[in-house]
Amino acid sequence: MRAAAPLLIGVIVLGAAVRFVGGVPLVQTDLLIAPTSEGRGTGDAMEAAGDGAPELAAASFYAFLQQGEYEKAWEVALEPDWPGALGASYLQEVTPSPLATGWTRESDFVRRCSDDIGSGIKLNGVQVVRLETPPDSPEARAAKALGASRLFGVRASGQMLGACLIYRWDRNLVVAEIGGRFKVVLPGTKSARSLFHQEWFSNLSLVGALRASGK
């Protein structure tokens, strides 16, 4: 399968607290997108994400997550509002229905991220490449039904950094073009005893331990 050249994200690595929920690491933290070849800084690149390419929208989404800027993350993302999602507890499962009635509200998304993630998620070496076809997923079908003019597929991958451990992850994502802008379409689902944002990082595997400074 062919893929476009990776869109790289540079990272500032700071100390982070890591905890485990249902065997999945939840990390907290900060990140930067590297300047473009034209010399634009982080802010310029991310502000233009929705008007750029599907890869840039996905890269910016993860960058904003790392920074804890959930309002900006929502500017380049959408999520189907599945029945039962609003107010679902950690113990409850949320599954897609045959037809989404709309999108999750920004205020609900931001509040949920703030409660579940905190100040951000520490990521390292994030790459985004274009897939030949978008994933055939419930959120892709929902996006089409809710007015997307075109759908694209991207694969995001990278590392999560905790206080002691490093994990590798990847995720195939749908990016929709809606109103001339590109939006990452989040699944809006979760397993029981898990949190929504854990669905944005799949195939987690342990890479190793972080070495303490000076050792």
| pLDDT (tens digit per residue) in 143-163 | 999 999 999 999 999 999 877
Within-domain flag for 215: no
- Overall size of the chain counted in residues: 215
Within-domain flag for 180: yes
pLDDT tens-digit profile of 159-200? Answer: 998 778 999 999 999 999 999 999 999 999 999 999 999 999
Within-domain flag for 126: yes
Within-domain flag for 25: yes
Within-domain flag for 176: yes
Within-domain flag for 214: no
H helix or E strand, kind and range, residue 197 = none
Could you tell me the residue range of the domain that residue 142 belongs to? 7-209
Within-domain flag for 194: yes
Q: How many domains does the chain have?
A: 1
Looking at residue 98, its pLDDT comes to: 85
Phi/psi for 127 (5° steps) reads: -125, 145
Strands (E), the chain: 7-8, 18-21, 24-27, 77-78, 123-130, 150-161, 165-178, 181-185, 202-209
For the cut 50, the answer to whether the pLDDT of residue 120 exceeds it is: yes
Within-domain flag for 203: yes
Cβ burial 190-208 (10 Å sphere, 16+ → b, else e): beeebbbbbbbbeeeeeee
